[in-house]
């Protein structure tokens, strides 16, 4: 890997991108890239769009000094693959292969190493950001643009676009030993989660299958393995959690264990059925395929109308929320009574000390939080108001002192939204870094779906 050549190529692409920015219509710049993991409906945008597809290269992996330099639209699949060649991985790798580094930093990302390293944006040391007026600048936690550095996570491309990032990487071993631990009640489950987060382990996440079936999965690096399982084709990872107490995976298979079946969401298109798996084949059993199908479904509202024909009203509830550990049992009481669908993904996060500074997604570094991920459609004979269930989630998260990420539908009224996501700091950053309002505002983008 030739760092100097890669940097020179990056600088050249950057100049071309800045030139193309001049051809964008006034506001509402549309980012043109091949994949997206954004799950809210948006008004279609017009104009040519800002083509950032070329910013998908890993510039350098410095395993000795523990960092990698990477272009902003590089997928975690490519970034992790390159890092593993050097015996390291990014400290936090989101579970879906097509999530890009820039998307995860601006849109909040987590994984089973987050109890140790925090959220994805906490792994970033430096960012090159393209502003709406075509200026580029480098932000670090210490330099004159530190407020932009700390305000960038959860800004969803409304303050600028990350074109190059320097991130922390850590050494790996070839295998990960998994231990699945079952609990029958929430109190014991969360107490055990807290205890294990203090132990010397490498990864931990969890899966809840029902009010009396809770699992923690602990992952530990090992140099050797008596066998390894394969969940990239015929076998399904999430089912294995209920079936076995321990398991071994190659490190890359551990990193992408949730991707093959999009956690468990592959079942919504029957991809959990052996015949469909055979038809799709291992190359198409992944989150990129499912996202394309879901997007197509959303565009034409196919499932929605099929439900209506059968007399059902449906609402998609696709959310990830962070709840302080001591309120997690309360959250589950609410969940089992109102949202109900299973499974639920669980992932502990301990924000690092500097997290207090991440102004648009503030979390308390003294607390352990738990992320709950739940993704399905609720069907009922009764017609509820728009976003009924999503609003219930928002209300409960707020009541429990939690945070909700904004990649999916949000229904907050403006005052509440800005109270949570730090209006003063956001508009300070907007006036300093996007005074002509070339980019949309966060509320318009995330709630009004413009």
Ligand X SMILES: Cc1cc2nc3c(=O)[nH]c(=O)nc-3n(C[C@H](O)[C@H](O)[C@H](O)COP(=O)(O)OP(=O)(O)OC[C@H]3O[C@@H](n4cnc5c(N)ncnc54)[C@H](O)[C@@H]3O)c2cc1C
Q: Where do we find the tokens 């990960």?
A: 176
Residue 206 interacts with ligand X (CB under 6 A)? no
H or E stretch including 445?
helix 442-446
* Rounded-to-5 percentages of helix, strand, coil across the chain: 35, 25, 40
The CB-of-122 to ligand X minimum distance in angstroms stands at 12
The CB-of-32 to ligand X minimum distance in angstroms stands at 10
Pick one of 31, 84, 181, 276: the residue that binds ligand X (CB under 6 A).
Answer: 31
The CB-of-124 to ligand X minimum distance in angstroms stands at 12
- CA-nearest of 52, 71, 37, 36 to 167 is 71
DSSP string, 337-381: HHT--S-EEEEEE---GGGGG-TTS---TTS-EEEEEEEEEEEES
In the structure encoding, which two tokens stand for residue 88, read together? 């390291």
The CB-of-400 to ligand X minimum distance in angstroms stands at 21
Q: Is the omega angle on the peptide bond into residue 199 within 30 degrees of 0, that is, cis?
A: no
H or E stretch including 241?
helix 237-243
> Which range touches ligand X (CB under 6 A), out of 90-98, 191-199, 244-252, 305-313?
90-98
Residues 400-419 that bind ligand X (CB under 6 A): 407
Residue 106 interacts with ligand X (CB under 6 A)? yes
Q: Where do we find the tokens 């090992």?
A: 222
> Which range touches ligand X (CB under 6 A), out of 97-105, 190-198, 361-369, 386-394?
97-105
Residue 102 interacts with ligand X (CB under 6 A)? yes
Residues 311-350 that bind ligand X (CB under 6 A): 318
Pick one of 59, 68, 110, 148: the residue that binds ligand X (CB under 6 A).
Answer: 110
CA distance 170 to 61: 11
CA distance 26 to 42: 19
Q: Where do we find the tokens 């800002």?
A: 50
> Which range touches ligand X (CB under 6 A), out of 88-96, 212-220, 351-359, 394-402?
88-96
In the structure encoding, which two tokens stand for residue 261, read together? 């079946």
Q: Between residues 127 and 420, which has the closer beta carbon with respect to ligand X?
A: 127
Pick one of 375, 412, 417, 433: the residue that binds ligand X (CB under 6 A).
Answer: 375
Give just the sign of the alpha carbon dihedral 93, 96, 98, 103: negative
Residue 156 interacts with ligand X (CB under 6 A)? yes
Pick one of 10, 61, 72, 259: the residue that binds ligand X (CB under 6 A).
Answer: 72
* Interface contacts to ligand X, rule CB under 6 A: 31, 33, 35-39, 72-73, 94-96, 99-100, 102-104, 106-107, 109-110, 156-157, 161-162, 318, 375, 407
């Amino acid at each position: 890997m030739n760092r100097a050549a890669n940097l020179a190529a990056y600088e050249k692409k950057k100049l071309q991108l800045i030139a193309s920015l001049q051809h964008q219509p006034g506001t509402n710049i549309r980012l043109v890239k091949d994949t997206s993991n954004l799950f809210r409906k948006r008004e279609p945008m017009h104009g040519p769009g800002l083509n950032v597809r070329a910013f998908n290269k890993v510039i350098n992996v410095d395993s000795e000094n523990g960092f990698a330099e990477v272009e902003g639209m590089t997928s975690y699949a490519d970034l992790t693959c390159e890092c593993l060649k050097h015996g390291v991985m990014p400290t936090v790798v989101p579970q879906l292969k097509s999530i890009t580094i820039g998307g995860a930093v601006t849109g909040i990302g987590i994984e089973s190493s987050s109890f140790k390293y925090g959220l994805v944006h906490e792994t970033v040391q430096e960012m090159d950001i393209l502003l709406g007026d075509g200026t580029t600048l480098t932000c670090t936690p210490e330099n004159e643009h530190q407020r932009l550095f700390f305000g960038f996570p959860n800004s969803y491309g409304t303050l600028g676009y990350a074109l190059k990032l320097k991130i922390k990487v850590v050494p790996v071993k070839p295998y990960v030993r998994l231990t699945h631990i079952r609990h029958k009640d929430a109190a014991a489950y969360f107490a055990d989660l807290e205890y294990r987060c203090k132990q010397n382990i490498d990864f931990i996440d969890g899966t809840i299958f029902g009010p009396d079936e809770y699992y923690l999965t602990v992952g530990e690096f090992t140099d050797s393995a008596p066998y390894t399982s394969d969940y990239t084709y015929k076998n399904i990872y999430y089912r294995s959690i209920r079936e076995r107490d321990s398991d071994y995976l190659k490190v890359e298979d551990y990193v992408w264990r949730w991707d093959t079946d999009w956690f468990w969401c592959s079942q919504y298109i029957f991809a959990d059925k052996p015949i469909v798996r055979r038809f799709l084949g291992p190359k198409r059993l992944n989150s990129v395929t499912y996202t394309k199908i879901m997007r197509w479904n959303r565009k034409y509202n196919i499932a929605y109308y099929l439900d209506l024909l059968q007399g059902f009203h449906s609402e998609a509830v696709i959310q990830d929320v962070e709840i302080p550990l001591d309120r997690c049992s309360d959250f589950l009481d609410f969940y089992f009574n109102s949202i109900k669908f299973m499974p639920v993904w669980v992932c502990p996060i301990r924000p690092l000390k500097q997290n207090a500074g991440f102004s648009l997604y503030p979390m308390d570094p003294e607390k352990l939080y738990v992320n709950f991920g739940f993704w399905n459609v609720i069907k009922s004979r009764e017609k509820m108001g728009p976003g009924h269930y999503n609003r219930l989630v928002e209300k409960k998260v707020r009541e429990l002192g939690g945070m909700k990420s904004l990649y999916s539908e949000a229904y907050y009224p403006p005052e509440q939204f800005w109270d949570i996501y730090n209006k003063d700091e956001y508009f300070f950053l907007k006036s300093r870094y996007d005074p002509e309002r070339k980019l949309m505002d966060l509320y318009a983008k995330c709630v009004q779906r413009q």
